[in-house]
């Protein structure tokens, strides 16, 4: 399921990169960078947890 990032909402907490490092990284300003748009299996599971944990609710897994 595709991951969506809401521009301007990210506060650089870094929670996503800790929980789902195969899907999310951060740039020099700490802002989220998407490494893969459509994670599968265990990567998807941790990406979903990252969307829930994001303190700014800046990530979403879109329902196709």
Partner 1 sequence: MSRTRRAVIVGASIAGLTTAEVLREEGFDGEIVIVGEEAQLPYTRPPLSKQILLGEWEPEDARIRTRAELDGLGIQLLTGVSAAGLDVAGRTIHTSVGPIAYDDLIIATGTRPRTHPLLPHSPSLRTIDDAILLRAQLRLARRVAVIGSGILGSEIASASRKHGAETVIVGRSGTLSFGGVGSLLSDRLAHLHKVNDVELALHADVISASPSSGGTELVLRGSAERSFDLVVVMIGGTPCTEWLAGSGLDIADGVACDDVGVAAPGVSAVGDVAAWHDPSTGRGVRTEHQSNAIEQAIAVASRIARNGEIERPVPLFWSEIHGTQIKAVGWFDQRRQLVDTSVDPTTDRSILCARAQDGTLRGAVAWNAPPREFQSARAEIITSARTAIQPIPKEDRR
Do residues 34 and 3 touch, judged by C-beta distance below 8 A?
yes
Q: With binding defined as CB under 8 A, does residue 11 bind partner 1?
A: yes
Q: With binding defined as CB under 8 A, does residue 34 bind partner 1?
A: no
What is residue 44's three-state secondary structure? Answer: helix
Helices (H) and strands (E) in the chain, counts: 2, 4
Q: With binding defined as CB under 8 A, does residue 56 bind partner 1?
A: yes
Q: With binding defined as CB under 8 A, does residue 6 bind partner 1?
A: yes
Interface residues with partner 1 (CB under 8 A) are 6, 8-9, 11-14, 26, 28-31, 48-49, 52-53, 55-57, 60, 63
């Amino acid at each position: 399921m595709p991951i969506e990032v809401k521009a301007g909402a990210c506060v650089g907490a870094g929670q996503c990169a800790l929980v789902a490092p195969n899907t999310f990284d951060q740039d020099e300003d700490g802002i989220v960078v998407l490494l893969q748009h459509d994670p599968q299996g265990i990567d998807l599971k941790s990406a979903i947890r990252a969307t829930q944990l994001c303190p700014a609710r800046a990530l979403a897994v879109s329902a196709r």
